[in-house]
Amino acid sequence: LAAHTGMRVGTAVDTSALANDATYRAAVGAEFDTVTPENVMKWEVVEPEQGRFDFTQADTLVAFARAHKQKVRGHTLVWHSQLPAWLTSRSWTAAELRPVLREHILTEVGHFRGRIWAWDVVNEAFNEDGSLRDTIWLQVLGPSYIADAFRWAHQADPKAILFYNDFNIEGVNPKSDAVFALLTQLRRQGVPVQAVGAQGHLDTQFPIPTGIVQNLRRFADAGMDSAITEADVRSVLPVDATESAAQSAGYSAMLQGCLLVRRCLSFTVWGFTDKYQWVPGVFAGEGSAALWDENFRPKPAY
């Protein structure tokens, strides 16, 4: 199906599992045509001390992807989470922090120049009601940090597709309305933002988002590409047959949405096996969010 539309199918990759688990490694190489580093391109990993950059783990994944003819989604440059302590444990003025952000983006994007297909430049900048999230970036730099980040990323790698990425923006709602309004406004101002990423973290306790196709299409109609960037569908454990069916329906709704919108470039799952999956560590009592179980057996959703 994907080959017909040009849509790519990807997964987030846990680089320690990639190094240590041969079954995992074989599946990443065989099942997907794009990969996203789950953690190793984040700020706390790549710039653990101010001005000292470490791309060792990310380079390993980029080399794996090249060997398997896969494209890489870079993730992520500007976020409020997984920041190093040197950045969060002191106060900054705008005049101090702006060059820190600029240097981080130019160095990281520059390091991978020509090898990253798409960058999640800004991640999770909005609240559910459509207001901007109260982060170090907004507090110190004001809302212009978003435009700056896209300009610097574009300067460092003009060919990478630059994404704004967030959760709960799969369907039409106040948050996706706000993202749409901001991105269309930035593009009118000439800011190089080309695409929107809907993370796609669903939960079988809650309804499947409504208006997925309508939402992705409005971005397409405004000249933007899109992607499902972090799909998973979790449940309260243990999972029964109804939840298993609901999981299949959730994955299907997102996959069909992407297949039905020509400008939806890729469908990426946030881990493909429950053996290495972030949900149990973050959502107490929940899990079983991936397409394969912890023994690499495909579930009905697969």
By CB under 6 A, is residue 16 in contact with ligand XIL? no
What interhelical angle do 241-260 and 212-221 show, nearest 10?
A: 20
Choose between 194 and 229: whose C-beta lies nearer to ligand XIL: 229
Q: How far apart are CA 232 and CA 255, in angstroms?
A: 11
CB of 109 to ligand XIL, least distance (A): 17
By CB under 6 A, is residue 288 in contact with ligand XIL? no
CA dist list (Å): 249 to 7, 75, 162: 20, 27, 30
CB of 180 to ligand XIL, least distance (A): 19
By beta-carbon distance, which residue lies closest to ligand XIL?
278
Choose between 58 and 217: whose C-beta lies nearer to ligand XIL: 58
CB of 195 to ligand XIL, least distance (A): 15
Cβ count within 10 A of residue 87:
17
Q: In the set 148, 157, 203, 230, which binds ligand XIL (CB under 6 A)?
A: 230
Choose between 99 and 281: whose C-beta lies nearer to ligand XIL: 281
Q: How far apart are CA 218 and CA 35, in angstroms?
A: 26
Q: How far apart are CA 232 and CA 200, in angstroms?
A: 6
CB of 249 to ligand XIL, least distance (A): 22
By CB under 6 A, is residue 203 in contact with ligand XIL? no
By CB under 6 A, is residue 268 in contact with ligand XIL? no
Q: How far apart are CA 25 and CA 98, in angstroms?
A: 39
CA dist list (Å): 235 to 79, 95, 150, 187, 203: 26, 45, 35, 38, 6
Q: Smallest Cα–Cα separation from 192: which of 235, 161, 219, 218?
A: 161
Q: In the set 123, 215, 235, 288, which binds ligand XIL (CB under 6 A)?
A: 123
By CB under 6 A, is residue 199 in contact with ligand XIL? yes
By CB under 6 A, is residue 38 in contact with ligand XIL? yes
Sign of the C-alpha dihedral computed for residues 144, 176, 80 and 40 taken in this order? negative
Q: Which residues are catalytic?
A: 124, 230
Q: Which residues contact ligand XIL (rule: CB under 6 A)?
A: 38-39, 123, 199, 230, 278
